[in-house]
Amino acid sequence: MPCPCLHSALKRQSGLMIPGNKNTRDGLLFSLPFLIVFSVFMLYPLGFGLVISFFKWGILGDVQFVGLNNYISLFKDDKFYSSLWHTFEFVLITTPALLVLGFLFALIVTSRSRLKKTAENVFFIPYIFSMTVVSTLWAWIMQKQYGLLNQIVMAFGGKEIGWLTDPKWAMISVSVATLWWTAGFNMILMSAGIKQISPEVYESASIDGASYLQGVFKITIPLLKPTIVLCLILQVIASFNVFGQVYVMTGGGPYGMTRVLIQYIYETGFKYFKMGYSAAMSYILFFIIMAASVIQYIALGRSKE
């Protein structure tokens, strides 16, 4: 159902309408299918989830109001902190790496290189494949005894490394697979931005004797700033929501060293059936993502004008 404020707004204005003009009715009718789906599968669960987070809620309908207890015990839960930290770790590793790589790839595909079309395809194509395919593939490449990566390491005389089983490496390995998978997405966004910069700017700069690198730092990056900010915000949101790669590649191991927050939310809710506790955690994550987006937007977006 559409939100109630709309109803009152409609009543207020409909008197002003010219007879025979059915704008209000039509506008509402055309919006209705979307609004129904949006309300039932988005607004309602969003509110319902918040309600659940104040209850002790088991799967068999054993429901008990506990007020803020879920939130309170959450802040005493070591597993919550460690999972949150692993998520942060993933965000901190992947965000800068993906932005820089996406930007470099965007420079390549907007350059004069004869390979630029091929490059666009090659860099982008991993993104098309589903996360599970990419994760199983990299889990195999990074497998300790027979994986390709360690075969290369050993060919150069090194010792085999437990890419996914050594706590030192596991999160980095998952990040590398993610990098390979999604760098192409940022590349597309950034190259679309670069293509909007007028070539004349570069021409006049090169007449003035500017080098290629000066062009990149003095022209491309400043003019691309709105796109970079957008990429940054989208990337941080995406990285905070990490789950699948970790779930498939390491299962959260070794010793829970890569268990990310969404995995903990999933396990709490669907393995231990503590739905209320799980919902409370998902709201904390939601809050963190919102806060991170708003902070980035205010800090970086303002200078756009």
Residue 118 CA to its chain's centroid (Å): 27
Residue 54: CB minimum distance to other proteins, A: 13
Span 256-275, contacts to other proteins by CB under 8 A: 262, 265-266, 269-270, 275
Size of the site for other proteins (CB under 8 A): 98
Span 35-94, contacts to other proteins by CB under 8 A: 35, 37-38, 41-42, 44-46, 48-49, 52, 57
Nearer to other proteins, 6 or 219 (CB): 6
From 76-84, 137-145, 166-174, 202-210, give the range in contact with other proteins by CB under 8 A.
137-145
Span 207-236, contacts to other proteins by CB under 8 A: 226-227, 229-231
Cα 261 to Cα 239: distance, rounded to the nearest angstrom? 11
Residue 168 binds other proteins (CB under 8 A): no
Given a contact cutoff of 8 angstroms between Cβ atoms, the answer to whether 47 and 38 are in contact is no
Residue 3 binds other proteins (CB under 8 A): yes
Residue 278 binds other proteins (CB under 8 A): yes
Residue 158: CB minimum distance to other proteins, A: 14
Helices marked H in the chain: 4-14, 23-38, 44-52, 69-74, 78-109, 116-128, 131-141, 148-155, 170-195, 199-207, 212-215, 221-223, 225-240, 244-249, 261-270, 275-301
By DSSP bridging, strand 55-57 and strand 63-65 are: antiparallel
Counting Cα atoms < 13 Å in the Cβ hemisphere of 182 gives 22
Nearer to other proteins, 76 or 114 (CB): 114
